[in-house]
Structure 1
Amino acid sequence: MSFFVAADAYDRFMGRYSTPLARPFADFSGVSAGQRVLDVGCGPGALTAELVGRVGPASVAAVDPSEPFVAALAERHPGVDVRQAPAEDLPFPDDGFDAALAQLVVHFMADPVSGLREMGRVTRNGGVVSACVWNHAGDDGPLSLFWNVVHELDGAVPDESMLAGSREGHLAELFAAAGLRDVEDGDVSVRVEHATFEEWWEPYTLGVGPAGAYVTSLDPDRREALADRCREALPAAPFELTARAWAARGRP
């Protein structure tokens, strides 16, 4: 799945969680100075910015299938080698990177095993392939409360809990299927404060991802009913939410 939306819309919706997640995910992946690193499914650059801070722009490459995201990242990080491409067909030679990372991407790959296998191909022997995916199948993902309320009002709506990697242990299974070795399971999480209900809700109306697509498909009355029920389900503002992601790492 590609996100053909404006970069700032993605930043306002998922960036509020993915940006702070980049640091613990890069720690989990062992990214450090002196490495050459690839950001797969880079989006507008939440993880890329963290990688640039650790290894420098000349040592970072990034790919994404979304043209708006690639353009935004190229503008934000002009020293990064950024290209438009899917994870399943990476435009890089074998063994070119010390680490290949995919933050919040595997569940949107057309073929997750193929994508992870490609990440292994472009990573040197002894390097690291790493990925994380929100815990959409549990109650502490960033969208969990939203989908729980949606199901109260409209139980037939498919959510994101069945996407690849969204349940505990599934990422490790995908890594093994892709032929990666020494696979380790884990998780990373962040806590994000929301000053008001409106600040939490408004990004859902921007049409980003499956949640945004659902909200924008509703007529005004149903959308207002959904917003009202979400307001009731959330703590009084300001409030903090935990956003947890499953993580896995392995070696080619």
Structure 2
Amino acid sequence: MATTSQQALDAEKLFDEINFSYKVAFRDNPTLQKVFQEALEDPGNARASILDVGCGTGGPVSSTLVAAGHDVTDIDVWQVMNGLCGKNIREKFLKADTTTFEPEKRFDAIFAIFSLLQMPYRTVYSTIFKFASWLKPGGTLILGTVPSDDLVVDKRLLDTSGEFIDGIDVRFMDDMIKCTFGTPNGWKRLVEAVGFEIMRMEHSSFKAKVPASYSQQHLFLTCMLGAKNSLMGPYPLPSTYCLPFMLSDEAWRPFQERLTRFEFEAVMKAVEDNVEILDVGSGYGDLPKAIAQKLGKSYAIEPNPDRMQVIENRNTDLGVQIKQGRAEALPYSDDSFDAVVAMWILHYVSDVEKALEEMVRVANRKAANARIVIVRGAPDNELVNLINNICAPIAALDAKENYVSHQGFLLTTATRIFSKNGFGDISLERVHAHCNFPETDFTLRCSKAAEILSEFWYRDHPRLEQMRTALLPALEKHFEDSPFKIGDQAVMLVAKPTPSLDLVTV
């Protein structure tokens, strides 16, 4: 079982204790064998590179795959399994948690057979997106799970979508464990939201050998990674973006003080060879300050006069050249910079396409290291999803406007605008960040998180208190699994000039 960091020790202890009985109980599963057979019969899968997530003792998944001649990498959190799987299968075994695992290569196929059950739903959601980034284009994902429609009697336990139930206590062999279950349609919608195409779905009943009374309903999905980039999801994309959010310094400052940001270092790495760099929407000026410390100069645009003053006061002698202006009308001539950066600003602009076109206009495509760098939220960004799922519907009660901030829509729009204007060499990279809530008192921690999240985009909204109250149950559940932080996962898009001999000068 591959699970979350908080749950890993409990899962490891449980399965170390039952590993032998588990292997006996689940070794003869005819539907699982059928799924294997269909996957192995694919002529494109000869000597495939395969990741087995939650490999256990190595059987039946890894043992079947190795016997068929495939190159198998096994990951699991079980300590006992480390020795057993290596001994039984003699393949590469890594004691790893999917939330922190970073593979050294991409795989032709990923098998996750009953290994997502003990994860909270938000981690299941994130893990499926990660699976897409771990696969080669056109790669195969095979999921095995227990569907909720055969287990859940009280439909009130389902989430707002009616498709998943998160963290319910169920009997697993002779133990009670917390599990997350989804309906077949819920799983279908989830994998399609990531960009997978479902090739086959198998729904079957299974009776374990031990204990004799133990039986389960099983659901197996065989999915192919399509042409859609998972980091631009979830799919389907909306046809338009929501209204711009109001930027409040009073709401931003307490949030910013709690941030642990790694996208900052990623951006600095992305522009390490550039010399004329513009930061659009500089906030308190951390990025232009770091650039100026390295190059002796940098350029910053900030619409907020109070923030402009902060930047000027902090960077008097560093060479930061700051102007007041908007992203939709940058006060610079064409081709002024070899790099333009915009971190987390597109949801504040009134015209997203115009802002992106302005970035293209001031970026010099003919510069040797020309690039535009955008940072947006990842599709599994926990903070954005909490606000979208809980606050946005409340905000929409008084208007017919869309308040859901779809980060993938912004990345897709940026890709389209950049490619149309000669910056078509696009790459996307996942970057980690999180917001810290170190309060030792659980009630205070949840209350403070509800305050910060609700005010982040809705500080002056008339239903602010309703949002804050609605956030509390979700935050209590979140902090049970991830005690002191909320993920602010990001995607960094780097757009370079479309390769062409007549564009780049020496």
TM-score, L = length of structure 2:
0.41
Give the C-alpha shift of residue 224 in structure 1: 5.4
Residue matched to 2:326: 86
Give the C-alpha shift of residue 195 in structure 1: 0.5
Query: What SS does the aligned partner of 1:180 have?
Result: coil
Bigger RCO (CA 8 Å, 6+ sep): 1
Residue matched to 1:248: 493
Partner amino acid, structure 2, of 1:122? V
Residue matched to 2:472: 228
Query: What SS does the aligned partner of 1:234 have?
Result: helix
Change in CA separation of 1:36 and 1:15 when aligned onto 2, cut-off 3 Å = farther
- 1:62 paired with 2:304, answer no
User: Which residues of 2 match residues 111-190 of structure 1 at below 5 A?
Assistant: 111-124=351-364, 125-126=366-367, 127-135=370-378, 138-150=379-391, 156=397, 158-162=402-406, 165-166=408-409, 169-190=412-433
Gaps of 5+ in 1: none
Residue matched to 2:51: none
- 1:194 paired with 2:437, answer yes
Contact 2:288–2:300, Cα closer than 8 Å, also in 1: yes
Give the C-alpha shift of residue 194 in structure 1: 1.9
Higher helix share: 1
Residue matched to 1:39: 279
Gaps of 5+ in 2: 1-243, 440-444, 498-506
Deviations 1:114-151 (A, max 9, x none): 2222222222223111111123xx33243322332336
Deviations 1:163-186 (A, max 9, x none): 6x5566443223224442322233
Residue matched to 1:10: 252
Number of equivalent positions: 239
Distance 1:142 1:10 in 2: 14
Contact 2:430–2:490, Cα closer than 8 Å, also in 1: yes
Partner amino acid, structure 2, of 1:87? A
Give the C-alpha shift of residue 106 in structure 1: 2.4
Partner amino acid, structure 2, of 1:70? M
Change in CA separation of 1:202 and 1:82 when aligned onto 2, cut-off 3 Å = same
Change in CA separation of 1:212 and 1:21 when aligned onto 2, cut-off 3 Å = farther
Contact 2:328–2:355, Cα closer than 8 Å, also in 1: yes
Query: What SS does the aligned partner of 2:272 have?
Result: coil
Give the C-alpha shift of residue 200 in structure 1: 2.9
Give the C-alpha shift of residue 244 in structure 1: 1.8
Distance 2:382 2:421 in 1: 25
Change in CA separation of 1:107 and 1:149 when aligned onto 2, cut-off 3 Å = closer
CA RMSD of aligned residues (A): 3.2
Distance 2:293 2:409 in 1: 28
Distance 1:106 1:245 in 2: 14
Query: What SS does the aligned partner of 2:459 have?
Result: helix
Partner amino acid, structure 2, of 1:212? R
Larger-gyration structure (1/2): 2
Give the C-alpha shift of residue 10 in structure 1: 1.8
Give the C-alpha shift of residue 37 in structure 1: 1.0
Identity of aligned residues (%): 21
Contact 2:394–2:463, Cα closer than 8 Å, also in 1: no
Query: What SS does the aligned partner of 1:83 have?
Result: strand
Partner amino acid, structure 1, of 2:449? W
Distance 2:325 2:492 in 1: 23
TM-score, L = length of structure 1:
0.77
User: Which residues of 2 match residues 91-110 of structure 1 at below 5 A?
Assistant: 91-110=331-350
Residue matched to 1:22: 264
Give the C-alpha shift of residue 109 in structure 1: 2.5
Partner amino acid, structure 2, of 1:239? F
Give the C-alpha shift of residue 62 in structure 1: 0.4
